[in-house]
Structure formats: structure tokens, C-alpha cells
A and B are shown apart, each in its own frame.
Chain A
């Protein structure tokens, strides 16, 4: 995580050349390069990685975006797009020798088509602002990352962001219809359409989650859904984490797709309770939050079925929210997990592996063992319904060696996720953070395919270089280091 030391210094001759070229068409306020002006852009939500950008541009028209890209392409200057900078994998970490392209001024909701249930947005529109604007029509935008008050829809598309409700309502990829995007050559791509599919290859799916490596998104059309009549939430407590994991599987096996299904372990409830006074049972080893939404009769029926499954799975306590206020209280603790981690520890590191749900008890046990091994506490919160884990490793960067131990701890969790048939990132992206872990998950030929896909859009690899897909050379280095350090993790774990 400590790439600060490797940061290249700004090359002022190069900077002058790029600034001059951009100043030819950008107004003064849209072009920053003085140290104090570009400093706010030196990192995204993963602040352990920092780099001063050589130049920052803040365009507010598509024509400007196009010319910026054409100019950088001609000069062979790297470009990194940035939305709200809430990314957790260093995806928007600026280039020290290139241009950070902020989409923050593209804040307009261009159109809400209530009849067709869609909204056309500029990329800098905040996630929550979409649902706020749609609510007078009884509609909302379903994907709701915890960062929704801040993160941008452009960033959501670039990361394929999820949220509490994606088990039932899908990820970003399931909730968008159309994009306008510019390639590094300045070509406009209109991807997707107003219907439910489009001709040719499914570039809408390919663009989603592509972390700003393929094209710069300048407009997003999203689907809007009708707001459910009612929602109700169950809080179930368990005296054993494994039992809670089994309850998750039992809910799904019973044919129920909850609107949300989240788990928190004891350390987490203990950390968030003083913060939000949610009334969590603090003696429970784990709690589940399980939500039902729909019309009145449907919710009543589903809640009964959910309660029965929870009890049969050995829940020591089952509470059902009796009011909207109580439902919000149940969720408040889950939503406050990250800030609470920040309160009980000077620093925390959020992981993002996804695993098959059946591996949950085994992985949780292994994380507990790793926590002892590294002498670092770890809060476990996750989107249990889809197996997306967010272990929060608590550390203190001022203690010598803790950051390194944290990184090793994190790397072991990622390796573990792969070993049980999962993935190194469920929703936060690879960015710079998990670039080495990509070498564990993919074979060289698969990585080569990713590079070929990238080259189909961006021949000279100028868009967000060094992110998301490692070079084969880097993986070879990483492999050597790995063997050298003798890090064969969990040789006794069965693999499938």
C-alpha cells in the first residue's frame, strides 16, 4: 500500500508542454497544475496510495473531453478519469506523468422518463441524487453502495458497484441501458440503447467494471424501478458464526431472495453499537439483517417464512422491525461499520473478496486464525447473501511494521478467497491495490486476453495505465518474490 516512495517526480518540461496544448481550448478554471491546486486529487478512497498528478483538467462539455483525449493521445500522455474519488482500490490514483480528468462538473440529470422508467445522467451525478430525483414519480435507482451520498454514477459504472440490495435487484451492470463514452482517440461510442438489448457484442457489459481503462464515460442512462410499497427487516442473532452462515444458505435454499441479507460479527456489532445505538445483541457471535420488500401481504408472508428459517437454523433471537424508524435503526449499524472501524482504530483496511457461500464458515475461521497470527484485529461485515466479504483489518500506520503486516494479512485473505473458488474483488475493483493478486487469479494467457481487449479500445495503453490488469512481466516478478518468501498459504485447504 505504500507506493508513495516510488512516486515519480513531476517533469516540468513535459508539464509545460501538456499545459500549453490544453490551454489552447480549455478555460483557465478548468486546468490545474500548481502543486496546491492538484493536491486534493492525489488519492482516492484508498489513501495509502498517493501521487501528485502532473495536470488536472475539469471540463464541463463533451467537446472539451473529446479534445482533451485527442490532445493527450497525440502527445502520448496518460489520462486517468476520476468521478468522486471514493474508489477503494486506487483506480483513480493520478498519473505523475499525465492528466487526471475529473468528471466532477458533469453534474446534470439530463432527463427522467417516468413512463419508460429511465434516467439520462451526466457521469458526475451522485448515486443518491438519482433516486432523490426519481422519487416524485414513485421510482428509484436500485444499486445503493454505502458511499451513495458521494460516489458518481460514472464511477459506479466503471467499478460495477453493488450495494445492500444487489442480491435481489442486481449490480450496476444489471441496471443500466446506455452509455456515451469517448475513446482515447476521441471517437464517440454510443453503447447499448433505449431498448433492452443492442446489436453486436455486449459492450455495455464489457464497459461496466472496466475501471476507466477502455473509454471515458460522458453519459449514462439507467433503469428506474418502482419503489416497493413496504419493507421490513429481521434481526437474527446467533451464538456461532458458522450457524449464521448456514442460516444464509437455508434462506436461499427455501426459495427466498431477500431484498438485503447482511452479516456482522461480534467485534463489528461491539464497535458500531456505541456509535448508533441500534440495540444489537452484543453477546451474539454474529447477527444477520434480512430484509423483505414488496406489497403489504407479500412482505407479511415472506417475513413469516424468513423467521421460521432463522429459528430452524438455530437463531438465539429473532426480532422484526415494527416501524420504519426501527428498520432504519437495524440498518444504521451496518451502514456505520466503516466509520465505526475508523473510530475504534487509527486506521483500517477494507478487503473485498467474494466466496461461494458454502465456504463461509471455513473462511471466517481462517480469518480468525490469521488475526491471531498477525496480531491485528479484524471486523467482519459482509453482503452475506452474495458471499461478498468485507473484512476490515484494524491497524495503526504509526506503529512500525503494522502496515506491512496488514498488507500481508490482506494478501492472505485474497489468496484464501481464490482457493475456495471465489475472487479477489467483488465490487471495489482491482485498481492498483490488487494488481498483484490478479496474477494469482488469472493465468498469463488470460491476462494476455485482457491486454488484447484493452488494445482494441486503446492501442497505446494511455487510459489509466498500470491499473486493473498486471503486465506479464509484473506477474513474473511477483511469482519470483512469492516463491522466494516461501508463502505457500494453507497447503492443507482443499481446493475446488
Chain B
């Protein structure tokens, strides 16, 4: 494994010297996400394997090339899971790609985000230097939190080599309920429930139907079923349903030509935009299949206190991620340069100018 790091580091040094862009790639399952792929492919999936996993520590340390499937199977075997239910979007997705894109699934609003669970990281920066930040412990405030900064950084700060993550026990019991509601009613209900001590672990609304998943202690789940009412969804059907939301294999997603992801305040009223919508996370996440103008979509997200991402399809030339205010953009640009002075890692994948 050491040779792989040496090899990666020397490729990086050479690329930095020549100013050759590198396109960091794990399993390629998220090639579609973010700005266009540019530069020579730097494959990182060879650096794989779980390094340390002690269930009673609630911490797993693994190489970034480890497949998500292996990670999740290993955890499940010990009765644990990744807290954020990441979408795989393909058979070969790796841990590194999962963290670098920062994408989380249905459970995220009720447990933790990708960055919430990151405890430590080892990376090669743009000079090929081998650096470690954070650690393998739950609480750690020594130095700036560089490892969490890597979550969602789209590979623009460095080649992630290893990650330590906080993991969670699998819930003992799970049940899904279905309700009929228009969007506005569903948003109100989801937020009302989120303000009560209920074991919610996922919510999704589409086309007049609201599905709610409960996870936790058996007693908590059965008490919540009684309290909430609705129609109980068969366990197998429920599992398929949440899998289809998580992996975007539901018809809503597969039939969308242009798919937008809007992250907004959960109580934001239904978006007044043409096209179909699917809501998750108590209403804090809005998927929108629309051919509406990018500017209109972004304005809607902004008025909901959030941001919009052109997730699939559409015209990426107009930008994928929401533009930042100038002061923030300037700081992010400087951060990028701090880690990658020659600007070789995934240029244009996050923002057109870095």
C-alpha cells in the first residue's frame, strides 16, 4: 500500500510542476455530479481496505478506495451502519468519492450529515505532501477541522487517502407509514412531527403521498405508529421504496430530464415552479424535475434560505453549484490555493474558476 501512496505523490508532484490538471477518480459512480471532468484521470481505487474497526469505539478507519459495499457489509455484520445512508449511484462507488461529494440519503436529516461523521483524514495535498488531520476519536479540537472541510469538497483540496468515521448502531425496529396529503399539508405535518420526540428516520413526499419511516427501539417505534396513524407499508415494499429514493431509481428520478436539488429551510412553502417535485428531510430537501430557467430555480432556493444544485442533466455551462457571495468566494479560492497551489485537482468540478 505504501508504494501506491508513493506513486500517487510522485504523479501529483509531476503534475504540479507541469501544471497538468488531474481528475481524481474512485469508482466513477459520481462522474455525472458537479462540473465537467477535466484533466488526466488519477485512479485512486487501488488504495483500498479497512484499516481499523472496533465496533465498541463506534469508529471505522478505511482507505478511501474501499468500496462502499464492503464498508456497509462490514458494519452490518457487527450491527452498525453509516449514519447518513449514502447513495451509491453504482456498483463501484468508493468511500473517498462518497465523502468528497458529501452526498447523503434519506436518514441524513434525523441522524447526521457526511461531514458530521468525519473524525479524521489523511490526504495528499497539491504538493504531494502526506498530511493527517483530526483522528480516530469522537471529540477532537486540536487544530482547524480540515478533515470535515474535505466533505463535499469535490476532490478539489487533495487526494483523500484514509478516513475515520463515526458509525452508529443499526436500529432494532423499523416501520414505514403512508399518508395522503398535498405538498403544503405534508410540509406542515413533517415539521410538526420533527418538533416532537418521535423516532423519525426518513420522510418523503411526492404526488400527494407522504411516506414516513420510523427507526429505533421497538417500543419507541410501536408507540409512534399508534400516535401517527396512517397506513402501514409492508416491510419489503418499504425497503424497496427507501432504496429507490436513496439511489434515485424511483420513476420520479429516472424520468427527470433535468434534475435540480434545492436545499432550503424545511418550512419553505411548496416551490412555485413548473415541473414535478419530490420532498425529503422534513421539507429541507426539494428535488425538482423542471425545464425552468436556472435563474428562477436559484432564486427560489435563495428565498428559501438555501441553495440550488443542478444535479443531473441541464446545461452545466451555466454553473452546477450555487454561486457564492464575493467575500466567501474569495476565501474559498484562497483555501483552494492553500491546499493546491498549482490548481491541479479537479479544476472546474466545484466552481468554474478553481
A121 to B281, CA, bound (A): 24
Q: Find residues 62-95 in chain B having any chain A CB closer than 8 Å to their own CB.
A: 79-80
| Segment from B14-22, B37-45, B302-310 that makes contact with A | B302-310
Most chain A beta-carbon neighbours within 10 Å: one of B198, B224, B309, B338: B338
A288 CB → nearest B CB, Å: 15
Contact B142 A358 (CB under 8 A): no
Q: Determine the chain B residues whose CB is within 8 A of the CB of A252 once the complex forms.
A: 55-58
A429 to B102, CA, bound (A): 27
Q: Determine the chain A residues whose CB is within 8 A of the CB of B79 once the complex forms.
A: 255
Q: Find residues 221-272 in chain A having any chain B CB closer than 8 Å to their own CB.
A: 226-229, 249-250, 252-253, 255-257
A-B CB contact pairs (8 Å), 18 listed: A173-B145, A187-B327, A194-B264, A195-B262, A198-B306, A200-B332, A206-B146, A213-B144, A214-B144, A294-B217, A297-B220, A300-B219, A423-B137, A423-B142, A426-B141, A450-B146, A453-B144, A455-B334
A298 to B224, CA, bound (A): 11
A357 to B327, CA, bound (A): 42
Contact A423 B331 (CB under 8 A): no
Does A290 have its Cβ within 8 Å of any Cβ on chain B?
A: no
B 31-56 binary contact with A (CB < 8 Å = 1; else 0)? 00000000000000000000000111
A356 to B61, CA, bound (A): 13
Does B112 have its Cβ within 8 Å of any Cβ on chain A?
A: yes
With A117-B194, A228-B197, A301-B219 in contact, is A162–B142 under 8 Å at CB? Answer: no
Does A116 have its Cβ within 8 Å of any Cβ on chain B?
A: yes
Nearest neighbor of B281 in chain A, beta-carbon distance: A196
Does A391 have its Cβ within 8 Å of any Cβ on chain B?
A: no
Does B276 have its Cβ within 8 Å of any Cβ on chain A?
A: no
Does B349 have its Cβ within 8 Å of any Cβ on chain A?
A: no
Contact A159 B115 (CB under 8 A): no
B 195-237 binary contact with A (CB < 8 Å = 1; else 0)? 1111100000000000000001111101110000000000000
Q: Determine the chain B residues whose CB is within 8 A of the CB of A469 once the complex forms.
A: 143-144
With A424-B142, A468-B143 in contact, is A201–B113 under 8 Å at CB? Answer: no
A 264-290 binary contact with B (CB < 8 Å = 1; else 0)? 000000000000000000000000000
Does A189 have its Cβ within 8 Å of any Cβ on chain B?
A: yes
Contact A139 B140 (CB under 8 A): no
A468 CB → nearest B CB, Å: 7
A469 to B142, CA, bound (A): 9
A438 to B141, CA, bound (A): 11
Does B339 have its Cβ within 8 Å of any Cβ on chain A?
A: yes
A187 to B331, CA, bound (A): 10
A449 to B133, CA, bound (A): 10
Does B318 have its Cβ within 8 Å of any Cβ on chain A?
A: no
With A195-B304, A200-B350, A201-B152 in contact, is A446–B335 under 8 Å at CB? Answer: no
A446 to B127, CA, bound (A): 12
Does A317 have its Cβ within 8 Å of any Cβ on chain B?
A: no
Contact B55 A253 (CB under 8 A): yes
Contact B148 A357 (CB under 8 A): no
Contact B266 A116 (CB under 8 A): yes
| Segment from A39-47, A124-132, A380-388, A398-406 that makes contact with B | A380-388
Contact B264 A115 (CB under 8 A): no
Nearest neighbor of A228 in chain B, beta-carbon distance: B197
Task: Report which of B57, B80, B116, B224 forms a contact with A358, defined as CB distance below 8 A.
Answer: B57
Task: Report which of B129, B142, B152, B281 forms a contact with A425, defined as CB distance below 8 A.
Answer: B142
Contact A441 B149 (CB under 8 A): no
Does A345 have its Cβ within 8 Å of any Cβ on chain B?
A: no
Nearest neighbor of B140 in chain A, beta-carbon distance: A423
A283 CB → nearest B CB, Å: 28
Does A452 have its Cβ within 8 Å of any Cβ on chain B?
A: yes
Does A190 have its Cβ within 8 Å of any Cβ on chain B?
A: yes
Nearest neighbor of A469 in chain B, beta-carbon distance: B143
Count class of interface residues, chain B: 35 or more
Task: Report which of A214, A428, A441, A456 forms a contact with B338, defined as CB distance below 8 A.
Answer: A456
Task: Report which of A114, A425, A449 forms a contact with B339, defined as CB distance below 8 A.
Answer: A449
Does A203 have its Cβ within 8 Å of any Cβ on chain B?
A: yes
Count class of interface residues, chain A: 35 or more
Contact A249 B152 (CB under 8 A): no
Q: Determine the chain B residues whose CB is within 8 A of the CB of A255 once the complex forms.
A: 79-80, 169-170, 172
With A298-B219, A424-B142, A446-B131 in contact, is A115–B267 under 8 Å at CB? Answer: yes
Q: Determine the chain B residues whose CB is within 8 A of the CB of A468 once the complex forms.
A: 143
Contact B148 A202 (CB under 8 A): yes
Contact A438 B143 (CB under 8 A): yes
A434 to B142, CA, bound (A): 9
With A174-B112, A388-B139, A427-B141 in contact, is A198–B55 under 8 Å at CB? Answer: no
Does B351 have its Cβ within 8 Å of any Cβ on chain A?
A: yes
A356 to B54, CA, bound (A): 10
Contact A425 B140 (CB under 8 A): yes
Task: Report which of B137, B170, B305, B324 forms a contact with A199, defined as CB distance below 8 A.
Answer: B324
Does A167 have its Cβ within 8 Å of any Cβ on chain B?
A: yes
Nearest neighbor of A230 in chain B, beta-carbon distance: B197
Q: Determine the chain B residues whose CB is within 8 A of the CB of A446 once the complex forms.
A: 131-133, 143
Contact B263 A195 (CB under 8 A): yes
Contact A205 B149 (CB under 8 A): yes
Does B109 have its Cβ within 8 Å of any Cβ on chain A?
A: yes
Task: Report which of A166, A188, A296 forms a contact with B327, defined as CB distance below 8 A.
Answer: A188
Contact B139 A171 (CB under 8 A): yes
Contact A358 B141 (CB under 8 A): no
Does B138 have its Cβ within 8 Å of any Cβ on chain A?
A: yes
Q: Find residues 98-146 in chain A having any chain B CB closer than 8 Å to their own CB.
A: 113-117, 137-139
